[in-house]
A and B are shown apart, each in its own frame.
Chain A
Amino acid sequence: MVLYHAISSYQILEAMIHRKLYHPEEKAFLVLPDFVVNKLPQYQQLKKMGFFDELSLFPYRQIRHDAKTLMQQVEDAYEKNIPYPITAFHTVYLAAAHFYFSLYLLMKEIPFHYFEDGCGILSRPEISFDLVNSHTPFQAEWAQEHGLFDGMNPLIQTRICNLDAQTAEIPGDRQNVVHFDVAYALEGLPETFREKIITFFGAPEGLDAGENSMLVMTQQLANLGRISIQEQMLLYQMTLDYYAQGYRLVFKPHPDDVLYYDRLFPGSLVIREKFPAELLPYLLKTRPKAALVQYSSALAGVRKCFPINIFCGYGIEDHFWKLHLYDAGLRLAGKLGIKKIVGLGLFAPQIENLLQYGGLSDFGLEVCFAQKFAPSEADGFYLIDDPGGLEGFSYEKMEEWLSAAPEKAVFLFLNTQQDYLFYQPDHPDWADNTIPLPIRMQRQEDCLFKRQGEALWLLTKDKDFQNAARRVTMEKELPYTGMTWEIGPMDDVALKIAVLEGEIAAMEHRLKHYIQENRELKEQLEGQEERGHF
């Protein structure tokens, strides 16, 4: 007998297809989580329809995340719920190995085959770790320690993954990695079996997305507690304002994402039925022209089905609110005839998407992302967001660079962190070389975007460039978000006021930094005095 363990719809589909292909004649036992009764109330059909011979629910909801009692709990849970000893299974396949069922195998030292957590995730185990860590840090730590996110546990015989969907180097020895493409395998199955799968998942057939549509597969970010529900709304509103103009929207929310996309995006189609994305190509009458997801893994299985695939990038929840600043920065560069940009501290996926899908292709811009902070003496156009994380960065080095920069070098600061990196207190004439470009906004009453007082800051000694930048006008309406932003010329008085306001804000920021530093040093000194170091 073979045993399969699966948690998500994707993993259940994977187990169904894998069993069909590799163990069609053998008895197959499926272990599901007890909470499947809510997500897939029809789970009993897995047995009735013959996908598996037997199945059991593992009581994850009752297991407490307690180091002292975990092993006993897992052992009791196995013995109460699985009618066979583990040795009765000659082959064990685990998907979602970071769930506690694997602990039983570890305790009994039973080797098993490991399915990657999601399509393409094996090369990005940190994504799985982060998702689990955001709501059960104990479980994440435990699974990390036992090599259950990257499949490096010594009991793992093979690591089954979609090699074509990996976006980075797979950790560890490639020898035990076996390729398995669920979407490809599904395609190769008899139509009757596919129909059975579709019937089991209750997936609606004949969905009409319309001629010019974009499929949006959402993530359950608010549900995971990574952002609030209002922030999740805003994330999709802003993202789709930039990448989905002109498309009819088709939403396939994550099973744990309950956000009301139909109300946020009137006229859109929302597919609420819970089924794996791999089934979509068989359900849609007209295939969408584009697909938009956060992580590439969500689309990895079906990306070939859509001419355009947009990946917002892992960590988009920390950067989406800068979209208009990134857009304004790139547009400004484009309008001023710049072709090559060096980016420092930028969120690369967002830049790449804007260049490709955000209506900026006419400018022919090329962005090169600096991997470390290495001030250059060359002329160039530098687009700067948050370089604090770059190796070698410091306020002092930035200041030195700016003051020594050649005449034609141009620095455009997005100032998203309100840290005023352009401020050079030791060079009183810095303000002469600085042009603020305030972003004026008009918002509807229910607009969720609340930030105020944003501006781009252009620093260059080239007066002609300064004057040209001052004359630039641009505007963008964001209908889903409910706001319009614009940048336009200012008279000399308004410009001076804006510079002074920026200078005051910069000084404030710098002062707070020094006060905090001073406080910490004082505490250190006091601590040392108490310990008798003086």
Chain B
Amino acid sequence: MGILKKWKDRIYEQLIGRYPVENGLYQEYVRNHSEYHRKHRVQSWLYLCRLSRDARRVQADKKHPQPPVSTPRRPVSQDGGQAAAGRPAGKSASNAKPQAGAKPAAAKQPFLPFLEGAESRMVVPRPSPDHFAMTLMRYDVISFDIFDTLLFRPFTEPRDLFLVLGKKLDIINFQNIRNEMERKAREVHQARFGNREANIYDIYEYVEKYTGIPKEYGIQMEFETELELCFANPYMKCVFDLLKSNGKTVIAVSDMYLPREMICKLLEKCGYQGFDEVFVSCECNANKITGGLYRIVKRYFGADKTFVHVGDNRDADVAMAQKCGFATQYYAGVNSIGKSYRATYDGMSELIGSAYGGIVNAALHNGMNRFSPLYEHGYLYGGLYVLGFCSWLHRKMQEKGIEKILFIARDGDIYRRVFQMLFPEAKSEYLLWSRIVNNKLTAENDRYTFLLRAVRAHEKTGKSTIGEVLSSLSLDFLADELPKSHLGAKHLLIPSNGRMLEDFLIRHWQQVIDCFDQESRLAQRYVQHLIGGCKKIAVVDTGWQGTSLFGLKWLIEEKWETGCEVQGYLAASQTACPTINQYKILTGELETYLFDRAYNRMTYDFHAKTNKGLTSFLFELFTQACHPTFQGFFEKEDGSVGFSFGVPEVENYDYIREIHSGIYDFCREYAGRFQNERFMLNISGHDAYVPFRLIARNPAFFKRFMKDMTYSIVTGSSSSATEIETIGDMFRRSGL
């Protein structure tokens, strides 16, 4: 079976695994049509072959450009894949269910604006708020739609608010119940009054009848939830303020079941002071979609006035308004703009996916701000994972009685900043550490890894001399001994002399350990100072094997005997050899948030198999820091502990700051929106990864916007000029 699997993996890799876009499409298809895939394997394989064929054509076209090839049709199951995705049919972004026996729909390759530039600049450029306001000022009465125009909710679908309400009322399936009761109430209203403008009181009559929730209580909870979660569209708020300041008559007009009084409170809470009037369909017994509400507005102000209406619904806010004699200004909804590019519909769980999508769409597309591609990279693709990771760490702290978290440099920089923002009362430190320091100080306990990192990693590049390697490990004093082993300090380290160097180091092992011992004592002073008096701490890194975590655990618990227990947490674990750290995970010594070999396996597989194994590298771009690699400890003249650093990659710092700004702002925005609903910070590792998966399928983004960033080819050593290359070079070298 093992051999068969191996061959199967190889064939898969050859056919499609090495084409990240097509691989992503196929995996998405399998995920969303799992039942169909199980029963119609041959159809799926045919689809895989078609994807593979087209991927090869695209490769060939790159050399000899030809007209674009459309992606092949994929087989779809009866429900369009909705059951597998967990959504009721008819609620998703895709459209009609295919008929039985019908030909499968074509999978369209969407325009990906982030490959051209920042999404906030590329997709729907809006006029500046003052220009927009001036356009409206020509009219006597300026009317605004409310929801998705003046006000946003932090969800992609407005009714997802009922998911949060369901939690407050502690009723499972509340969203569907609430929707059903609203439908009922509207039907009854239609029968009684000839229109469907039921109000919230009507709706909760039925909610009470079918759930037992007292009507007034239910209404109060729903309204409080709206008050808590609704926020002003900053663009429209600015436009509103400009209009009011210039003495214009401004009204709000909404098809809504909330009564006018509640709507007014909502608007005021969101900072809209001074509407001349608010018209709500449930009180006027007329709505926008049939035009009745517009006619009421006109009668109210006088038909001799000129009117303009601003809204996001093409039918209700544009077509019908125009029919009723209003000029209109269409304001494309932020969620309708952003949804084609959101990972929300790529397998995220509904509530978190909706919250993530709602927040990023509102930030990017309201029209007030334009961001850089790198800022958006952090905001869109890194923010959710960092937020979820920090929140997960905090829960672990509480569950396991951990007193302090040490975030390892350099990845820990952004983690700690976000962690401190979210949980200011929780103790944490930024620990200067690195693979090279870990390698040296744990050599005594892990000789193999030491030799692997010190020698074999360098011999692969063939760019370092043996002398440089020794120097990077502070083992210069051994250089004089090299000739005795037929080695020279000026010899390039290559595979043919690599084993000889290893033997040399092993022969001088005690000297090596003694050399590191002094540094170990300095490290001990430093780390113990950070630990303080804590008896149980956690050490956190991004990934991937956990060597630094294990190293620190050994040092703190065993070598230094501090009496402190260490728990290790990684964002994710993925190693070239999958079995490296499996027992550590099974014993609980190491826990991962996003995935490891046994947890969130599909995510693990995607991560391991896409981009020719470079996905980890791309992932780590979220968590760099604006200081050089930490090289080690030394004793200063006054006896205090000194810290030495490598070559600063200053050309990266502006990139890093932009990405971190995006990550931090997302985390602050999301946490702020749900400050009273802390359960919304319980983001699963699967959900946290999905946004990154979308961008990882499109490495062209990294190639375009980060090609000048540099990195050291060999980690765990000092960076001489010959060992640094740019991301652009890496892409060229790897053929990505």
User: Chain A residues in contact with chain B, CB under 8 A?
Assistant: 38, 222-223, 225, 228-229, 256, 258-263, 270, 272, 507-508, 511-512, 515
Known: A38-B138, A508-B650. Is A222-B245 also a contact (CB below 8 A)?
Answer: no
Return the 5 tightest CB-CB contacts between A and B, nearest first: A260-B245, A511-B650, A508-B650, A260-B241, A258-B242
- Residue pair A223, B130 in contact (C-beta under 8 Å): yes
Known: A229-B130, A259-B130. 10 other contacts (CB 8 A): A223-B131, A258-B130, A258-B133, A258-B246, A260-B241, A260-B242, A262-B245, A263-B241, A512-B651, A515-B650
Contact with A along B130-151 (1 / 0, CB 8 A): 1101100110000000000000
Provide the residues of chain A in CB contact with B651, threshold 8 Å. Answer: 512, 515
Q: Could you give 15 example pairs across A and B, Cβ below 8 Å? A: A222-B128, A223-B130, A229-B129, A256-B134, A258-B133, A258-B134, A258-B242, A259-B130, A260-B246, A262-B245, A263-B241, A272-B246, A272-B247, A507-B650, A515-B651
- Residue pair A258, B137 in contact (C-beta under 8 Å): yes
Contact with A along B244-260 (1 / 0, CB 8 A): 11110000000000000
In the docked arrangement, what's the CA distance between A511 and B137, Å? 51
Contact with A along B207-249 (1 / 0, CB 8 A): 0000000000000000000000000000000100110111100
In the docked arrangement, what's the CA distance between A260 and B133, Å? 11
The count of residues in chain B whose C-beta lies closer than 8 Å to any C-beta of chain A is 19
- Residue pair A228, B245 in contact (C-beta under 8 Å): no
Provide the residues of chain B in CB contact with A263, threshold 8 Å. Answer: 241, 245
- Residue pair A261, B245 in contact (C-beta under 8 Å): yes
Provide the residues of chain B in CB contact with A259, threshold 8 Å. Answer: 130, 242, 245
In the docked arrangement, what's the CA distance between A167 and B628, Å? 53
Interface residues in B95-128 by Cβ distance below 8 A to A read 128
> Is the C-beta of B653 less than 8 angstroms from some C-beta in chain A?
yes
> Is the C-beta of B648 less than 8 angstroms from some C-beta in chain A?
yes
Residue of B nearest to A228 (CB): B128
In the docked arrangement, what's the CA distance between A263 and B240, Å? 12
Provide the residues of chain B in CB contact with A270, threshold 8 Å. Answer: 245
In the docked arrangement, what's the CA distance between A507 and B238, Å? 41
In the docked arrangement, what's the CA distance between A453 and B130, Å? 31
Provide the residues of chain A in CB contact with B137, threshold 8 Å. Answer: 258
> CB < 8 Å: which of B138, B244, B648 contacts A260?
B244
User: Chain B residues in contact with chain A, CB under 8 A?
Assistant: 128-131, 133-134, 137-138, 238, 241-242, 244-247, 648, 650-651, 653
Provide the residues of chain B in CB contact with A515, threshold 8 Å. Answer: 650-651
- Give min CB distance, B667 to chain A, whole Å: 18
- Give min CB distance, A200 to chain B, whole Å: 20
In the docked arrangement, what's the CA distance between A256 and B242, Å? 12
- Give min CB distance, B274 to chain A, whole Å: 10
In the docked arrangement, what's the CA distance between A38 and B137, Å? 9
- Give min CB distance, B392 to chain A, whole Å: 29
In the docked arrangement, what's the CA distance between A508 and B647, Å? 11
In the docked arrangement, what's the CA distance between A38 and B131, Å? 14
- Give min CB distance, B249 to chain A, whole Å: 14
- Residue pair B650, A512 in contact (C-beta under 8 Å): yes
Residue of B nearest to A223 (CB): B130
In the docked arrangement, what's the CA distance between A222 and B134, Å? 12
In the docked arrangement, what's the CA distance between A262 and B128, Å? 20
Residue of A nearest to B654 (CB): A512
Provide the residues of chain A in CB contact with B244, threshold 8 Å. Answer: 260
Provide the residues of chain B in CB contact with A256, threshold 8 Å. Answer: 134
Provide the residues of chain B in CB contact with A512, threshold 8 Å. Answer: 650-651
Residue of B nearest to A256 (CB): B134
In the docked arrangement, what's the CA distance between A515 and B708, Å? 11
Provide the residues of chain A in CB contact with B245, threshold 8 Å. Answer: 258-263, 270
Known: A512-B650, A515-B651. Is A222-B241 also a contact (CB below 8 A)?
Answer: no
Provide the residues of chain B in CB contact with A223, threshold 8 Å. Answer: 130-131, 134
In the docked arrangement, what's the CA distance between A228 and B131, Å? 11
- Give min CB distance, A25 to chain B, whole Å: 38
Residue of A nearest to B131 (CB): A223
Residue of B nearest to A510 (CB): B650
Provide the residues of chain B in CB contact with A38, threshold 8 Å. Answer: 138
Query: Which interface residue of B244, B246, B650 has the most chain A CB atoms within 10 A?
Result: B650
Provide the residues of chain A in CB contact with B648, threshold 8 Å. Answer: 507-508, 511
Provide the residues of chain A in CB contact with B133, threshold 8 Å. Answer: 258
In the docked arrangement, what's the CA distance between A134 and B564, Å? 65
Residue of A nearest to B240 (CB): A260
Provide the residues of chain B in CB contact with A272, threshold 8 Å. Answer: 246-247
- Give min CB distance, A256 to chain B, whole Å: 8
Residue of A nearest to B708 (CB): A519
Provide the residues of chain A in CB contact with B129, threshold 8 Å. Answer: 229
> CB < 8 Å: which of B130, B138, B247, B650 contacts A222?
B130
Residue of A nearest to B245 (CB): A260
Residue of A nearest to B243 (CB): A258
Residue of A nearest to B370 (CB): A228
- Give min CB distance, B657 to chain A, whole Å: 11
Provide the residues of chain A in CB contact with B128, threshold 8 Å. Answer: 222, 225, 228-229
- Give min CB distance, A271 to chain B, whole Å: 11
- Give min CB distance, A60 to chain B, whole Å: 17
- Give min CB distance, A176 to chain B, whole Å: 38
Provide the residues of chain A in CB contact with B242, threshold 8 Å. Answer: 258-260
Provide the residues of chain B in CB contact with A261, threshold 8 Å. Answer: 245
- Give min CB distance, A36 to chain B, whole Å: 13
Provide the residues of chain B in CB contact with A225, threshold 8 Å. Answer: 128
In the docked arrangement, what's the CA distance between A259 and B130, Å? 7
In the docked arrangement, what's the CA distance between A429 and B583, Å? 55
Residue of B nearest to A262 (CB): B245
Query: Which interface residue of B131, B238, B245, B653 has the most chain A CB atoms within 10 A?
Result: B245
Residue of B nearest to A513 (CB): B650
- Give min CB distance, A73 to chain B, whole Å: 24
In the docked arrangement, what's the CA distance between A225 and B133, Å? 15
In the docked arrangement, what's the CA distance between A262 and B131, Å? 19
- Give min CB distance, B32 to chain A, whole Å: 42
In the docked arrangement, what's the CA distance between A337 and B133, Å? 51
In the docked arrangement, what's the CA distance between A270 and B247, Å? 11
Residue of A nearest to B137 (CB): A258
Query: Which interface residue of B129, B130, B134 has the most chain A CB atoms within 10 A?
Result: B130
- Give min CB distance, B104 to chain A, whole Å: 47
Residue of B nearest to A261 (CB): B245
Provide the residues of chain A in CB contact with B130, threshold 8 Å. Answer: 222-223, 229, 258-259
- Give min CB distance, A500 to chain B, whole Å: 12
Provide the residues of chain B in CB contact with A511, threshold 8 Å. Answer: 648, 650
- Give min CB distance, B406 to chain A, whole Å: 22
Residue of A nearest to B653 (CB): A508
Provide the residues of chain A in CB contact with B247, threshold 8 Å. Answer: 272
In the docked arrangement, what's the CA distance between A507 and B129, Å? 40
Residue of A nearest to B626 (CB): A508
- Give min CB distance, B110 to chain A, whole Å: 30
Provide the residues of chain B in CB contact with A228, threshold 8 Å. Answer: 128
Provide the residues of chain A in CB contact with B238, threshold 8 Å. Answer: 229
Provide the residues of chain A in CB contact with B131, threshold 8 Å. Answer: 223
- Give min CB distance, A117 to chain B, whole Å: 22
Provide the residues of chain A in CB contact with B653, threshold 8 Å. Answer: 508
In the docked arrangement, what's the CA distance between A229 and B134, Å? 13
- Give min CB distance, B578 to chain A, whole Å: 39
In the docked arrangement, what's the CA distance between A261 and B245, Å? 8
In the docked arrangement, what's the CA distance between A423 and B129, Å? 42
In the docked arrangement, what's the CA distance between A517 and B350, Å? 50
In the docked arrangement, what's the CA distance between A508 and B654, Å? 11
- Give min CB distance, A203 to chain B, whole Å: 15
Provide the residues of chain A in CB contact with B650, threshold 8 Å. Answer: 507-508, 511-512, 515
In the docked arrangement, what's the CA distance between A270 and B130, Å? 17
In the docked arrangement, what's the CA distance between A88 and B621, Å? 73
- Give min CB distance, B91 to chain A, whole Å: 38
- Give min CB distance, A265 to chain B, whole Å: 11
In the docked arrangement, what's the CA distance between A317 and B238, Å? 21
- Give min CB distance, A23 to chain B, whole Å: 34
In the docked arrangement, what's the CA distance between A507 and B626, Å? 13
In the docked arrangement, what's the CA distance between A272 and B242, Å? 12
- Give min CB distance, B279 to chain A, whole Å: 24
- Give min CB distance, B138 to chain A, whole Å: 6
